[in-house]
Amino acid sequence: DGGITQSPKYLFRKEGQNVTLSCEQNLNHDAMYWYRQDPGQGLRLIYYSQIVNDFQKGDIAEGYSVSREKKESFPLTVTSAQKNPTAFYLCASSPGTGVWQPQHFGDGTRLSIL
Amino acid sequence: GQQVMQIPQYQHVQEGEDFTTYCNSSTTLSNIQWYKQRPGGHPVFLIQLVKSGEVKKQKRLTFQFGEAKKNSSLHITATQTTDVGTYFCAGTPTPSGGYNKLIFGAGTRLAVHP
């Protein structure tokens, strides 16, 4: 079955530590996205990528970094510069970035501070 | 900045009652998408509306897109316990610059009491 796989499901970060969240898709989608979800709030866009080797900042990119070396993979690194990283992180993909494209989401990674 | 407001934040209903959530944008939208997130799960795409005044139905769910393309609603008739979850609207502001930047509402959490 095609889908998006995020790992790990739960992640704990120590002070001053960088952590990387994995996102892999086998839907052959060109576009991939990272969102942050906090309780009582909608999804906020961190980064997006329309094509391999290209990515753009979203609304809340500070303290995060990404790479897109392969079409299938779009890992997100939460750096020590992100002072409030505790949240639910969702990766999504869509066939393209045209306005009519629905997004498909992974099961998410819940990140907490130790 | 561009915002999508969604009300109510929470709704508790008895099974069999109707439910409506409303979505309002500060700017004109190219389209509106609706997603459902079950507790502990990830958002799942339900439907997309693109035309002014458009109405679409999925069984007990009715979706509307306003004439001015700034608001939308989701109405569930005769709720069931399987309807429990958070319903998000998400729209693409006009102009989008060709990128499907979805602005998500904060969601309406629906609880259904048997």
| A11-67 pLDDT, tens digit each | 998 888 999 999 999 999 999 999 999 987 889 999 999 999 999 999 999 999 999
Question: What is the structure's pLDDT at B96?
Answer: 61
**C-beta of residue B73 within 8 angstroms of C-beta of residue B63:** yes
Asked if residue B107 has pLDDT above 70, the reply is yes
Residue B106 to residue A101, Cβ atoms within 8 A? no
Q: How far is B45 from chain A (nearest CA, A)?
A: 7
Interface with chain A: mutation pick from B21, B100, B103, B109, highest number of A CBs within 10 Å: B100
**C-beta of residue A112 within 8 angstroms of C-beta of residue A19:** no
| A74-93 pLDDT, tens digit each | 999 999 888 899 999 999 99
Note whether B52 contacts A: Cβ–Cβ < 8 A.
Answer: no
Residue B42 to residue A107, Cβ atoms within 8 A? yes
Of A56, A90, A98, the CB nearest to B42: A90
Please state, as a whole number, how many other Cβ atoms lie within 10 Å of the Cβ of residue B81: 10
CA–CA dist B21, B29 (Å, integer):
18
CA–CA dist B31, B52 (Å, integer):
9
Question: What is the structure's pLDDT at A15?
Answer: 83
- The number of CA neighbours under 13 Å toward the Cβ of B16 is 1
Of residues B2 and B76, the one with the higher pLDDT is B76
Residue A103 to residue B45, Cβ atoms within 8 A? yes
> Which residues of chain A neighbour B104 with C-beta distances below 8 Å?
35, 42-44
